[in-house]
Amino acid sequence: MKKIVVLISGNGSNLQAIIDHCESGNINGEITCVVSNKDDAYGIQRAEASNIKTEIINEDKFESRKDFNEELFNLLLNLNADLIVLAGFMKILNEKTANYFFGKIINIHPSLLPKYPGLNTHTKVIDNKEKYHGVSIHYVSSQLDAGPLIAQGQIKVHKDESIERLEERIHKVEHMIYPEVIKLICDNKIYLELGRTVNLINEGSKDPIYKSYEI
């Protein structure tokens, strides 16, 4: 059973989806710690409700960003996780952390990368009249939202759809595809090899997993 550490900053809805899949036995892993950079993140309550250890590292309590980064790095080192999951963690990992744990950290991003890295992806999709939107799960590298792709989940953008409705639908996709990918990693069916993702469910293909959703 793999040891999983989840990093959050807010509500923790993706965290809850992962907790549910671990508790049901669908994921062959155990969340050993939830780390938040916000004291008031609701995800902390979700973790505590499932008797999961929590750690809070608030950047405001450090003299510099460098000190914060070093504390986070040391914490992750001590937690000795098999898999580190970023689930709405709104801090960019520094180069030292990203490089040291490369192949162990995954992130979910609300766009079909390489389109729209960074913030405000739903607004950009609407403004640019995109026909499709989705989420991307990738290994974290030292470059923002640019690590090796693992999987993408896609939905059609409805005509005259509001940003709020689109965001709601994307969250539903996240809650389905993120636990599925984590399960595959914990079952050793997805891994990183020479900087590229390998998935054994497609006979060792190095192409990402693509899924379409009707939501």
177-205: per-residue pLDDT in tens?
999 999 999 999 999 888 888 888 776 67
Encode burial over 110-136: b for 16+ CB neighbours within 10 A, e otherwise.
bbbbeebeeeebbebbbeeebeebbbb
25 pLDDT exceeds 70?
A: yes
pLDDT for position 178 = 98
Distance of CA 126 to the CA centre of its chain: 23
pLDDT for position 103 = 96
Indicate the range of 142-151, 158-167, 193-202 predicted with least confidence.
193-202
Which residues on neighbouring strands pair with residue 136, listed in sequence order? 109, 152
d(CA 47, CA 16): 8
pLDDT for position 90 = 93
pLDDT for position 204 = 67
Whole-model pTM: value is: 0.96
- 10 Å Cβ neighbour count for 145? 18
> Quick one: average pLDDT of 146-162?
96
Domains of the chain (ranges; CATH) run: 1-101 (3.40.50.170), 109-137+150-215 (3.40.50.170)
pLDDT for position 8 = 98
> Quick one: average pLDDT of 70-85?
98
d(CA 25, CA 61): 38
pLDDT for position 203 = 67
From residue 41, how far is each of 48, 68, 88, 195 by CA, in Å? Answer: 12, 18, 11, 33
Whole-number percent of the chain with pLDDT over 90: 89
- Residues 6 or more apart in contact with residue 1 via CB below 8 angstroms: 28, 29, 30, 186
4 pLDDT exceeds 80?
A: yes
- pLDDT mean across residues, the chain: 95
Distance of CA 64 to the CA centre of its chain: 26
pLDDT for position 98 = 97
Annotated catalytic residue, options 21, 109, 122, 133? 109
Q: Work out the pLDDT band at 128, boundaries 50, 70, 90.
A: very high
Q: Which amino acid is at 173?
A: V
pLDDT for position 72 = 98
Examine the residue annotation and report whether 109 is marked as an active-site residue of this protein: yes
